[in-house]
Amino acid sequence: MINLPYKNLLPISLLFYSCAGIQPGWTYQLEDDPRYIQGVGQVTRSEKNYREKAFKAAEREIARQLSVEINSSSTREKVVDFSKTIKDKYTEFVQTNIQQSLIEVKKIDEFQDKEIFYVLLGLDREKYFERKKAEKDRALEEIQNITESLSNMEIDEQLSSLNSAIGILLEKDMLYEKNQSNDFLYTHLKSNINQRLSKLSVVSENSTVGYNPLLQNKLSVPISVRYNGTQTKALPISIIVNDTLVSNSLSNDRSTTEIIIEPKSNKDQVVRIMLSKTIFGKDDDIYVDADLDLGGFLIRPVIGDFEIKITGPLVKKQKQRIKSRVEQFLLTRFHNEKSAGEKTNIQVSIERNDKARISDNYPFVTYSSGSVIIKNNSVKNVFKIESQKGVNFESADKAFDGAIDKICEEQNISVIFETNKGKVKK
């Protein structure tokens, strides 16, 4: 809003017009003016704050003309394919610049009759375009200084500086500005960024990292972040697993970077290492819309050779039933690969708890619970078998057998081997 001195502003000529009832021509037909970009506002005098509303209406008309002028000059060549992010940022800056330009608007004339108040505002064309030219000249010089200094910067400083240069283009309404080679400056700067990003990569020992889901609920995977094939300085990176951000980190500039991953599925998961956008600056100052994927790998749950042992107050058929169900579960849920000399030992321990029978007319009730102990060399994991209830009118043994059946059901055996149920010990 412009704070114009509304009081004591009516010149003698306007008083004469008002008193004599002679209405200025600009109130009904505004002619082109070589000096001013003009806007007329008119509001019924019966409205509250009619003078302020009229001034704002005139400002909006000048703003509309500035917007039309910017759009007409910007759209003469549709060569550059801008992303929505860049277009939105550019529109935001253009609107901000227009509002700032309205501060320089001054009142040229005003008139009122019995019903309507009119005001004529103007923005000095010469001063406006001189200011815009001076801003662009300074911006071009600043961008040139940035590009000439890139060779003396580290990669993170280069990317941040190029982002700042694009920000200058947007801020100063220079999105369609061309350089001496008749190339768009934006395209040139974006190409510089993409060239540098293409030289950044992540190197890992294997494209597929296997792990034993029964013994590992955290993976430490060594990677190396390189620029043009050489270990680069520490850079901010983001770890993405199956399109979900799991952590932000900083790469190691002297050796490999250990990234920690907690698998959340019994299926293959894609891990991507992304260059964090923070390398370009704060969120509000990021003008780069580029592919920041540095590389990645696959993590795969793998069950190698294993041996199952069943202990507890069980008959042979019960032991075989539990063993078969555990074996079937593992082979259908996870990849199975032959291991070199390593074997996973799985010990299933079953406990029996018979409840006292209330009377002859009541069934036998028995509970079965236990644990699964998994070992592989020095690594050990323990899973709890939740208590299951068996009921039978004939005998406690048959009730216990029913409890064993429930342990072997798909939904219950799945719960046993949920990763978050186990505590890995070394």
54 and 124 inside one domain: yes
- Give the domain extent around 115: 12-128
What's this model's pTM, rounded to 2 decimal places? 0.74
Cβ-proximal residues to 224 (8 Å cutoff; 6+ apart), any chain:
202, 203, 204, 231, 256, 257
Q: How does pLDDT run across 97-110, given as a tens digit for each residue?
A: 999 999 999 999 99
25 and 73 inside one domain: yes
Report the distance separating Cα 112 and Cα 101, nearest Å: 27
The per-residue pLDDT for 77 is 52
- Is residue 61 assigned to a domain? yes
- Is residue 2 assigned to a domain? no
CATH number of the domain at 247, please: 2.60.40.10
Q: In Å, what is the CA distance from 404 to each residue of 131, 382, 395?
A: 86, 19, 15
The per-residue pLDDT for 16 is 41
Q: In Å, what is the CA distance from 231 to each residue of 155, 201, 355?
A: 12, 10, 67
- Is residue 99 assigned to a domain? yes
- Is residue 298 assigned to a domain? yes
Question: Are the C-beta atoms of 107 and 121 separated by less than 8 Å?
Answer: yes
Cβ-proximal residues to 169 (8 Å cutoff; 6+ apart), any chain:
139, 143, 175, 177, 185, 186, 189
The per-residue pLDDT for 364 is 95
Domain count, the chain: 4
The per-residue pLDDT for 88 is 84
Cβ-proximal residues to 28 (8 Å cutoff; 6+ apart), any chain:
none
**Amino acid letter for position 340:** A
- Is residue 369 assigned to a domain? yes
Report the distance separating Cα 351 and Cα 311, nearest Å: 9
Q: Phi and psi for 291 in degrees, rounded to 5?
A: -80, 115
End of a domain among 176, 198, 220? Answer: 198
Cα 385 versus chain centre, distance: 40
- Is residue 235 assigned to a domain? yes
217 and 310 inside one domain: no
219 and 317 inside one domain: no
End of a domain among 128, 162, 187? Answer: 128
CATH number of the domain at 72, please: 3.10.129
Q: Phi and psi for 314 in degrees, rounded to 5?
A: -125, 150
Residues of the chain with pLDDT under 50: 1-20, 76, 420
The per-residue pLDDT for 73 is 61
- Is residue 4 assigned to a domain? no
Q: In Å, what is the CA distance from 78 to each residue of 90, 166, 169, 170, 215?
A: 15, 18, 17, 17, 58
Report the distance separating Cα 119 and Cα 133, nearest Å: 29
CATH number of the domain at 409, please: 3.30.160
Q: In Å, what is the CA distance from 48 to each residue of 5, 107, 305?
A: 18, 21, 86
Q: Which residues, in sequence order, are bridge partners of residue 273?
A: 239, 295
Q: Which residues, in sequence order, are bridge partners of residue 368?
A: 352, 388
193 and 204 inside one domain: no
298 and 311 inside one domain: no
158 and 183 inside one domain: yes
- Is residue 5 assigned to a domain? no
383 and 341 inside one domain: yes
318 and 410 inside one domain: yes
224 and 256 inside one domain: yes
End of a domain among 144, 170, 198? Answer: 198
Q: How does pLDDT run across 28-47, given as a tens digit for each residue?
A: 898 889 999 999 999 999 99
The per-residue pLDDT for 14 is 43
- Within 10 A of 287 (CB to CB), how many other CB atoms are there? 24
Cβ-proximal residues to 400 (8 Å cutoff; 6+ apart), any chain:
352, 354, 366, 368, 390
**Amino acid letter for position 425:** K
334 and 390 inside one domain: yes
The per-residue pLDDT for 80 is 60
139 and 193 inside one domain: yes
Q: In Å, what is the CA distance from 106 to each residue of 41, 181, 232, 324, 368?
A: 13, 40, 56, 90, 89
